[in-house]
Structure 1
């Protein structure tokens, strides 16, 4: 006996955005785990640099002598700041997939770590009060202020444009709630 032919099943696709999906499953969400790991790693690097300098000072290794300090604060601070900047950029870019978020986070975290070193290292504090280091630190502070202002300013403008667009076109507010990535090409796998 022959069996009747089986119907061909079409592959099922995911429901379009807004239909049967919770906002948490949205592709545009920032991944929390990379943010937590990045922040933790940056804090450990910054704390490790402070610990190395504290330990070397307590052992008398940073006291300049005729041979120089065994562990000078300048390279330790420089290495810490470079590592924090690079790791913060990479981690926040992985989390958000937006360069604007990564640049803002990188500059802000680097500035906060630099500020902690300025407040704890007498030599760095003195260097930032006069000469070229003062100008560099002041310029860096200004850049951080501009970047953070630009970040929040553009977020506000994008939100305002979406609200105005929704009001003028009578669109469903749920469609307008998507992230500002809508202004660029869609992410991979998103139609």
Structure 2
């Protein structure tokens, strides 16, 4: 009999598949503070409305493992094996532009306001290497991605514009369990990038 990780029993109004697992980059506290200040300024200058992400939830998604009714231990184990298989050096990532992405068709009032991420070949290599490792353990991986950090969701579109550049050194990546509908993240594991 296959076991499941029954971490939560408070279903409420959560989606049918409320347990999400994904790999991401999490900026350090100083970078999160700078990102939050940019968000504060944009909301003030442009009189934006919407839901801001809490500072501790700011991240750059790398690979989506999946959404599940219950998070099965074999999926969690496979994701951890994929993460463990990745080996590369730290690298710099930067954000120089902000813009709104198109919302999902049924969520027109929830346009994501994002910082566009740049990490050069190193970021692309991390994404690709992680995807290959996921495939080797039987998980599906995305073939491409658009690196970004979501600041908020709201009804007003913001055209692309330059911001004061934010740079940070990516020293690790994490596997996150997200409780959809409850806006809660749990770091399942973290892997350092070593020199």
Same topology, TM > 0.5: no
Greater fraction of residues in strand:
2
TM class, shorter-chain normalised? under 0.3
| Higher relative contact order (Cα pairs below 8 Å, separated by 6+ residues) | 2
Larger C-alpha radius of gyration, 1 or 2? 1
